[in-house]
């Protein structure tokens, strides 16, 4: 009975976007953890992606959708100018029947619709280095196509998202409070973070001094946010644009490496299994730099490895802070899971340090 009611609600929501189309089916779709996503199929054979935006995470739906609409419109023009197919190579926002870009259901839910792009696939994990190369190529192209877009005009959908010094201050506050008496279980991790304190502000300091340009960044550069052609396995479209904001290119590069080039699961209890795959790192870096098409400054290229290290440290700090505060942000299914997540990130950062010379070699401007 609950499923029938839920499906009826989805159909009613969809009618606000395409009142003339009969909904034949609506089913959960994808592997995302933030928004609720459904694949809707209509009587004329069309398919659509219907999403309920998580307003607990994204509290300014109007600003978020203004970002998405403006950036995708810009991308469509760029793609068309280069002879590409805008219908496949970027998202298309479908307005409601009254011309808005999202629908509020009166119960606190905000909804949007995109056309479903046929013939593409999403991977949660690279099956080979070619997949990861294509991911890098796609996010590099994303940077190249948006290089001239005025980043400062975008809304900050999650304030201070990659403000690493602030993340550190939050961590120190959690250590000081120790409300759940967990500091005793994380002494090594706390010491490791504190030993790297000076590095954590390197990128933000460079940006503040004008040595790194502010760019439009995706801020969730996981492999599964790139759609690949199901036949050729070539990158086609970057999706999940909710976190596009002004930011630093090194963070986008780094987050892709943090997530995709780690040999272990994010919550692996055995840190001996954690390492940076140089093969995957090299594949992504090659694709990313090719996709960027020479638009990065020499300083940006120099800082790409540091972006990988800092974003890995930042994520480790976020997991550790949440552990110390009683697991109030990240969902856990077992005791000390957030501590394991922290340890995995810090172990990955330590392995990056061991492999630093090889990482740096792949990103240095060639003269």
Q: What is the CATH number of domain 2-118?
A: 3.30.200.20
What residue ranges do the domains of the chain occupy? Answer: 2-118, 129-361
Strand (E) or helix (H) holding 217: strand 215-217
CA distance 10 to 15: 9
Closest CA to 296 of 354, 228, 248: 248
Asked if 50 contacts 37 with a C-beta cutoff of 8 angstroms, the reply is: yes
Looking at residue 359, what is its pLDDT?
97
Q: Could you tell me the pTM of the whole model?
A: 0.92
Looking at residue 228, what is its pLDDT?
97
SS3 per-residue string spanning 85-144 = CHHHHCCCCECCCCCCCCEECCCCCEEEEEECCCCEECCCCCCCHHHHHHHHHHHHHHHH
Fold entry, domain 129-361:
Aminoglycoside 3'-phosphotransferase; Chain: A, domain 2 (3.90.1200)
Looking at residue 54, what is its pLDDT?
87
- Inter-CA distances, 283 with 257, 290, 293, Å: 10, 11, 16
CA distance 52 to 55: 9
Burial of 321 (C-beta count, 10 Å sphere; 0-12/13-18/19+): buried
Burial of 247 (C-beta count, 10 Å sphere; 0-12/13-18/19+): buried
SS3 (DSSP) at 342: helix
Q: Give start and end residues of each alpha helix (H) in the chain.
A: 2-15, 61-81, 86-89, 129-145, 164-177, 187-195, 202-208, 249-260, 278-292, 298-324, 337-354, 356-361
Tokens standing for residue 16: 């606000």
Residue the block writes with tokens 């959960």 = 28
CA distance 366 to 109: 50
Looking at residue 5, what is its pLDDT?
40
CA distance 349 to 122: 27
Tokens standing for residue 125: 């994990």
SS3 (DSSP) at 188: helix
DSSP 50: E
- Give the HSE-up count for residue 172: Cα atoms under 13 Å, Cβ half-sphere: 8
The residues, any chain, with a CB within 8 Å of residue 45's CB and separated by 6 or more, are none
Q: Give 10-residue mean pLDDT values along the chain (367 residues).
A: 61 94 86 78 94 89 96 97 96 96 91 96 93 98 96 92 95 98 98 97 96 96 95 96 96 97 95 97 97 96 98 97 93 93 98 97 72
Looking at residue 1, what is its pLDDT?
34
Looking at residue 75, what is its pLDDT?
97
DSSP bridge partners of 25: 41
Looking at residue 110, what is its pLDDT?
94
- Give the HSE-up count for residue 236: Cα atoms under 13 Å, Cβ half-sphere: 19
CA distance 240 to 222: 10
């Amino acid at each position: 009975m609950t499923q029938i009611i839920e499906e009826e609600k989805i159909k009613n929501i969809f009618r606000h976007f395409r009142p003339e189309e009969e909904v034949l089916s609506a089913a959960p779709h994808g592997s995302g953890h933030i928004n609720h996503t459904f694949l809707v199929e209509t009587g004329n054979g069309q398919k659509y992606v219907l999403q309920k935006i998580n307003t607990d995470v994204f509290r300014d739906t109007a600003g978020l959708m203004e970002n998405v609409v403006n950036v995708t419109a810009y991308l469509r023009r760029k793609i068309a100018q280069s002879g590409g197919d805008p219908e496949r190579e970027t998202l298309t926002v479908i307005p409601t029947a009254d011309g808005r870009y999202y629908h509020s259901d009166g119960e606190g839910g905000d909804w949007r619709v995109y056309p479903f792009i046929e013939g593409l696939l999403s991977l949660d994990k690279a099956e080979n280095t070619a997949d990861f190369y294509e991911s890098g190529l796609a996010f590099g192209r994303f940077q190249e196509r948006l290089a001239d877009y005025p980043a400062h005009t975008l809304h900050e959908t999650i304030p201070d998202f990659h403000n690493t010094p602030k993340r550190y201050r939050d961590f120190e506050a959690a250590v000081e409070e120790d409300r759940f008496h967990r500091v005793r279980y994380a002494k090594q991790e706390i010491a490791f973070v504190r030993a790297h304190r000076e590095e954590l502000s390197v990128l933000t300091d460079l940006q503040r001094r004008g040595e790194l340009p502010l760019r439009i960044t995706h801020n969730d550069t996981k492999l599964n946010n790139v759609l690949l052609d199901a036949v050729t396995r070539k990158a086609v479209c970057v999706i999940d644009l909710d976190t596009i904001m002004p930011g630093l290119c090194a963070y986008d590069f780094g987050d892709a490496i943090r997530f995709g080039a780690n040999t272990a699961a994010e919550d692996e209890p055995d840190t001996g299994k954690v390492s940076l795959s140089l093969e995957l790192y090299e594949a992504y870096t090659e694709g990313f730099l090719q996709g960027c098409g020479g638009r990065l400054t020499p300083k940006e290229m120099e800082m790409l490895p540091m972006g990988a290290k800092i974003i890995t440290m930042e994520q480790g700090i976020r997991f550790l802070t949440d552990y110390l505060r009683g697991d109030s942000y990240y969902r856990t299914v077992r005791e000390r899971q957030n501590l394991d997540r922290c340890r995995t990130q810090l172990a990955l950062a330590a392995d990056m340090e061991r492999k630093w010379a090889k990482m740096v070699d792949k990103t240095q401007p060639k003269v």
